[in-house]
Amino acid sequence: MPIELHRIDDRLIHGQVVVGWGQPLELRFLVLVDDEVAASEWEQELYRMGVPPDMRVDFVSVEQAIERYASFASDPKPGMLLTGDIDTMARLCLAIPALRRVNLGGVHHRAGRAQKLRYIFLTRGEEAELRAMADTGVEISAQDVPAARVIPLDAILEGEAIA
């Protein structure tokens, strides 16, 4: 079974991921791709605390995620791959041809970012990075939780859908 969702979410593992998506998709593992977290036992322990015992978490660096992606994707159980920022997902998409669909789940307010959706704020640089990913054939859409409307990248960037 392929990885069910490739998600960009700056909160990484939290309620929407574990409960909101985890229950309807019956997720059994999470791949958290973050160089900083992959190097910190303390951070990993913190994130593990939020995950039910029947859900595995693999903490990997970008390099490790690229190396191990095929094994994650061939896992018979459903899983989710998570990055905390757009740049990390862009690096994965560039290196992993099979990664062709990306979910924008949460990129929150920070200085220099403009609001695009209730849960998506982007800098000009991040907008350009998303367009560049889309130009290589990656399908990008926003959806914070399964019951929410799927909003395609064009609508996000045109600011048509603040809701």
Partner 1 sequence: MSDATPRPTALVIGHRDFAAGIISAVTAITGREDLFRTVSNYGLDTRGIEALLREAIADGVTVIFSDLPAGSTTMAARRAQRDFPEVTVVTGVSLPLLLDYAFAAPDAVHAADAAVEKGRAAMMVARGTRRAD
125 binds partner 1 (CB under 8 A): no
Selected binder of partner 1 within 49, 53, 76, 147 (CB under 8 A): 49
Q: Nearer to partner 1 by C-beta: 19 or 98?
A: 19
14 binds partner 1 (CB under 8 A): yes
Task: Decide: 80 and 5 in contact? Cβ < 8 Å.
Answer: yes
Proportion of the chain in helix, strand, coil states, percent, rounded to 5: 35, 25, 40
Contacts of 22 (CB under 8 A, 6+ apart): 52, 55, 80
28 binds partner 1 (CB under 8 A): no
Alpha-carbon distance of 80 to 5, in angstroms, equals: 5
Q: Nearer to partner 1 by C-beta: 73 or 85?
A: 85
145 binds partner 1 (CB under 8 A): no
Min. distance of Cβ 42 from partner 1 in angstroms? 7
End-to-end CA distance of the chain: 33
163 binds partner 1 (CB under 8 A): no
Alpha-carbon distance of 102 to 138, in angstroms, equals: 7
108 binds partner 1 (CB under 8 A): yes
- Give the x/- contact pattern for partner 1 in 57-76, rule: CB under 8 A: --------------------
Alpha-carbon distance of 98 to 123, in angstroms, equals: 27
124 binds partner 1 (CB under 8 A): no
φ, ψ (nearest 5 deg) of residue 140: -120, 130
- Interface positions with partner 1 (CB under 8 A): 10-15, 18-19, 42, 46-47, 49-51, 106-110, 118-119
